[in-house]
Structures are given as C-alpha cells and as structure tokens.
C-alpha cells in the first residue's frame, strides 16, 4: 500500500501540489456555483430558505432559528468545570493579546488652528461564524468574539450549524454564554453567511462577517464582500512544516496530522532538505493515522492536498514556503528564528520544537482564524481591526485656507472639477475660475 503523504522532489512540487498552489481547495467552480445559488435563495426567501437549506445540508429542520436563552444557560450549566476553567483561561489570554493590538484614535495639532487625525470606532453589528460541520469549534467562538468585544462592537450575532436536536453544539452554546453572547442562530454553511450579509426575518443584517469555515463558508464570505466586510478567506486549514535534518519525525508527523484532520480539503505539507527526515515523517504519518479517530478524513486530505517535499538546500525550502504562503508555518529547527527571518508569507508561525500549532489554536493568545488558499500574501489573522473603522478628521482654519486655498482650487481645476474649486474659492471671497492651462502658461 502506498504512503498517505507522497514524497515529492522539489522540482516536481508544482505538478504534485497543483491543487494546493492553484488554491482549488477553496476557489472551486463547482462549490462557487452552488454557493451563488444558496446566497440568492437566502436573499430572496429569508428564513424560509434558511430552514429548507438547513434541512437539506444539515439533515435537520430546527424548531426555531434563534436559539432560546434557556438553551444557552443550560449548555453552560452542563459544561464540565475543568473545561470551563480552560475556556476561561484561553479567553483571557486571547483578550490580553487583542487588547495589545487595539489602535487608538489620534489627532495632530499642525498649528494655525489646523487639526488632523483619525477616530477609531467600532462597527455596530458583527456576524460571527462558528464551524461545526464535522467538529464543533468552541475555540472559534473565543477567537471570533473576544476581538469583537475588545473592539467595542455593539451587537454580536453568532451562527453555527445545528446538530440533530436542531440546536448548535452544546460546547458552542456554552462558550457563547460564557462570553455573554445572547444572539445565537442555528444555521451554518453558506446560508449562514448569506443570512448575516443580507439579513432575514430572524437574523439581522450585520456590518462585518467573520470566522472560519469549510469551502462553502469561505466561498460565501468571498462572494458577499462589498455587501459586508469580512476578515479574510479563512477556509480549510493548512500547515507547512519546515524542518531540518535534526527535527523529530514524530513531532513533524503529528503537526501535519493536526491540520490535515480538519477537513478532506485541508492541506499539510512537509518541506525539508533532508531526504532521511522526509522518509521518516512519511512512515510516522502512516503509523499515526491508523491510531486516530478522524483517519477517514486524513486518508482523503493527505493524498489530495499533502506532500513531503525534499529540496536540495534550505534556501529552496524557504522559497517553497513562500510559494505556498500557508495559513500556518511550523519551523522545527534550532535555527527557527533565522529561518523565519528569511520567510515572507505565512498567516501564523510557530517557532521551534516546543511550539506545536494547537497551542495557537486553543490557548496562547494570537487568533486562530487565519487566511488560507495563499491569501496570507496579503491578508492577516482576524483581529480587532476588522471590527473597527478609521474615520479621518480634518479641521482647517481660515488662516491656513488663505495660505493654501488658491493652490487647492487650481488642483481641482486641473482635474476639471470646478465645483470643487468653487467650494474653496467662496471661502476666499473669490468666485473666479482660473483656467489651469492658461494659468500655467502665464506663469512660465
Ligand atoms: N482558516 C481558519 O482560520 C480555520 C479555523 C478553524 C477551522 N477552519 C476550517 O473550518 C472548516 C470547518 O468545516 P466543517 O465542514 O467541519 O464545518 P462548517 O461549519 O464550516 O461547515 C458545515 C456546513 O457546510 C455546509 N455544507 C456541507 N456540505 C455542503 C454541500 N455539499 N453544499 C453546500 N453546503 C454544504 C452545511 O450547511 C454545513 O452546515 C474546516 O475546513 C477547517 O479546516 C479554518
Ligand atoms: N487549526 C484551525 C485553524 O486552521 C483552528 C482550530 C480550532 N480548533 C482546532 N483548530
Ligand atoms: Zn486546528
């Protein structure tokens, strides 16, 4: 039987990783067509569409889309006390981290009565998506909600797919209650994103939709941009493990499996200049998969979107990481800092042998909602910024306007926008249009 994680020489990586490099895991035409139909249905039929689509994709028709308050309370009462303590500690780490990234409003006094600045203000309503298709992710409640709370968002609305009882998973409900979130809806997938973006009878239209999800959720977020803001295309999970010859093959294999188990479309790639390490990791992956409950997912994701790429040099390995621009990068090397300083693209990095990626998924403080599909080239982790606007503020004075008004009016006239010029000139007590061409010629 062939190994689950294919060994690939560096020069053959493009053929092997076409599915990953082409970002097909998310940007898939078939998925996109289906998501467009779902979004149109939600826009037209509101709650009725949500109920029909939930029945179709989640196999249940909830009694109500809005989760009753007593279900949230019950879920928190039922939460295992030790797990509750861990959730609280994780939320407090995440809160501290996101408080540190909170920007502040500022103004500068430029003299002459001129002040310029930016007012930072939160959006009114945020929609949070919490995945639960194949595994409920209460950690994503924390990662979505805490930055929204730190930013000062007025209303937080959470959508998560229902289980067989018509309610989102109890751990998701308990975490919502723990964080003081009251508005929770039993709807998942692209239909949840559509509901938050367009609004329905039950789900209010929000200003930003954030959160991770499968290819349907991520594609829906991509398609509603403009209607609402989003954090990033946080689709099926990805990891690249960059390892040198001294790395522990079991660590490397486990780090790959930790992301590959998320989804049949998840991607896990080892990049190393050591053929011996690559062979050992491939063998470890096979050994460990057989011990894991989500082996069925791993047996699909690893052959489809995984690889152990063997390079000639560490420089090639570094180039390969940048080419993939992965959601997560784990660097298993004593030279982790040096290697990280050579890499440009990754959503989050885990440095050294004692930083397994799940530390970040659950606990350390940085956000686990991260850009996928190569979008780490331009997008960042979910943070307070997505819930904030920077509003520019200008206060000019009569003195400064007298000094600069004529130049500004001529700038406007050069663009043939004479009403712009007029708005300045009337304040200078002068309504005369100056032809910029003539004016330039005259000044020469
Ligand atoms: N990038 C990140 O930051 C990040 C973080 C956490 C999780 N994730 C990813 O989130 C995802 C969670 O996926 P999941 O499936 O477990 O849960 P999910 O909640 O994202 O998706 C489940 C929903 O998908 C919809 N769906 C399923 N099959 C469909 C179909 N054929 N057509 C239309 N809709 C369909 C259903 O409505 C269902 O409710 C994984 O891919 C995981 O890797 C990413
Ligand atoms: N690794 C995921 C981001 O790709 C986040 C997560 C949540 N729970 C476990 N893992
Ligand atoms: Zn994870």
CATH for the stretch 396-443: 1.20.5
Which atom of ligand 1 lies at the shortest distance from residue 161's CA? Answer: 39
Return left, alpha or beta for 210; rule: phi > 0 is left, psi -120 to 50 is alpha, else beta: beta
CATH for the stretch 7-25+236-364: 3.40.50.1980
Q: Which two tokens stand for residue 195?
A: 């509901």
- Find the mean pLDDT for residues 77-90: 98
pLDDT confidence of residue 333 = 98
pLDDT over 80 at 301, yes or no: yes
- Ligand 2 centre distance from Cα of residue 142 (Å): 12
User: CATH 3.40.50.1980: which residues of the chain?
Assistant: 7-25+236-364, 29-234
189 lines ligand 1 (CB under 6 A): yes
Give the pLDDT confidence of 157-189 residue by residue, as tens digits. 999 999 999 999 999 999 999 999 999 999 999
- Ligand 1 centre distance from Cα of residue 200 (Å): 21
pLDDT confidence of residue 15 = 83
CATH superfamily name and code, 29-234: Nitrogenase molybdenum iron protein domain (3.40.50.1980)
pLDDT over 80 at 241, yes or no: yes
The answer to whether 168 and 141 are in contact (CB under 8 A) is no
pTM of the model: 0.95
- Which letter does DSSP use for residue 112 in this model? T
188 lines ligand 1 (CB under 6 A): yes
Query: CA-based angle 339:344:347, to the nearest 5?
Result: 100
- Ligand 2 centre distance from Cα of residue 212 (Å): 9
Give the pLDDT confidence of 397-443 residue by residue, as tens digits. 999 999 999 999 999 999 999 999 999 999 999 777 666 555 554 44
236 lines ligand 1 (CB under 6 A): yes
Read off the pLDDT band of 444 (50, 70, 90).
very low
For residue 139, the ligand closest to its alpha carbon is: 2
Residue positions annotated with a catalytic role: 327-328
122 lines ligand 1 (CB under 6 A): no
Buried b (16+ CB within 10 A) or exposed e, 66-80: bbeeebbebbeeebe
pLDDT confidence of residue 437 = 57
Which atom of ligand 2 lies at the shortest distance from residue 238's CA? Answer: 4
pLDDT over 70 at 25, yes or no: no
- Give me the percent of the chain exceeding a pLDDT of 90: 91
Q: Which long-range contacts (CB under 8 A, 24 or more apart) does 406-413 make?
A: 409/434, 410/434, 410/436, 410/439
| Interface predicted TM-score (ipTM) of this complex, two decimals | 0.99
């Amino acid at each position: 039987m062939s190994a689950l994680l294919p060994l690939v020489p560096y020069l053959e990586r493009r053929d092997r990783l076409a599915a990953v490099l082409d970002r097909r895991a998310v940007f898939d035409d078939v998925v996109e067509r289906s998501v467009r139909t779902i979004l149109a249905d939600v826009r037209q039929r509101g709650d009725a569409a949500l109920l029909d689509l939930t029945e179709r994709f989640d196999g249940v028709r909830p009694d109500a889309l809005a989760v009753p308050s007593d279900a949230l309370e019950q879920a928190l009462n039922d939460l295992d006390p030790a797990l509750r303590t861990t959730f609280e500690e994780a939320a407090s780490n995440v809160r501290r981290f996101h408080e540190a990234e909170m920007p502040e409003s500022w103004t500068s006094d430029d003299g002459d009565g001129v002040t310029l600045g930016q007012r930072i203000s939160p959006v009114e309503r945020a929609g949070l998506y919490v995945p639960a298709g194949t595994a409920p992710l209460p950690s994503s409640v924390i990662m979505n909600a805490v930055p929204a709370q730190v930013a000062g968002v007025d209303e937080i609305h959470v959508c998560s797919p229902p289980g067989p009882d018509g309610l989102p998973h109890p751990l998701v409900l308990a975490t919502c209650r723990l964080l003081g979130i009251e508005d929770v809806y039993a709807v998942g997938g692209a239909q949840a994103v559509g509901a938050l973006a367009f609004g329905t009878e039950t789900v209010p239209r929000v200003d930003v939709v954030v959160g991770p999800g499968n290819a349907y959720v991520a594609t829906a977020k991509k398609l509603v941009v403009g209607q609402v803001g989003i954090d990033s295309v946080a689709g099926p999970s990805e990891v690249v493990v960059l390892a040198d010859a001294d790395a522990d093959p079991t660590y490397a294999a486990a780090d790959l499996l930790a992301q590959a188990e998320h989804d049949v479309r998840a991607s896990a790639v080892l990049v190393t200049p050591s053929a011996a390490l690559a062979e050992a990791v491939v063998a470890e992956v096979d050994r460990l998969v057989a011990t894991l409950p989500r082996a069925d997912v791993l047996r699909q994701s690893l052959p489809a979107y995984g690889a152990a790429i063997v390079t000639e040099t560490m420089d090639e390995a570094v180039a390969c990481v940048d080419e993939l621009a992965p959601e997560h990068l784990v660097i298993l090397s004593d030279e982790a800092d040096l290697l990280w300083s050579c890499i440009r693209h990754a959503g989050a990095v885990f440095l050294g042998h004692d930083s397994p990626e799940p530390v970040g998924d659950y606990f350390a403080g940085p956000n686990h909602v991260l850009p996928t599909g190569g979008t780490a080239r331009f997008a960042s982790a979910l943070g307070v910024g997505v819930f904030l606007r920077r509003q520019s503020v200008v206060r000019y004075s009569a003195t400064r306007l007298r000094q600069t008004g004529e130049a500004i009016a001529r700038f406007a006239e050069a663009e043939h926008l004479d009403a712009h010029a007029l708005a300045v000139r009337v304040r200078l007590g002068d309504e005369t249009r100056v032809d910029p061409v003539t004016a330039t010629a005259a000044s020469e």
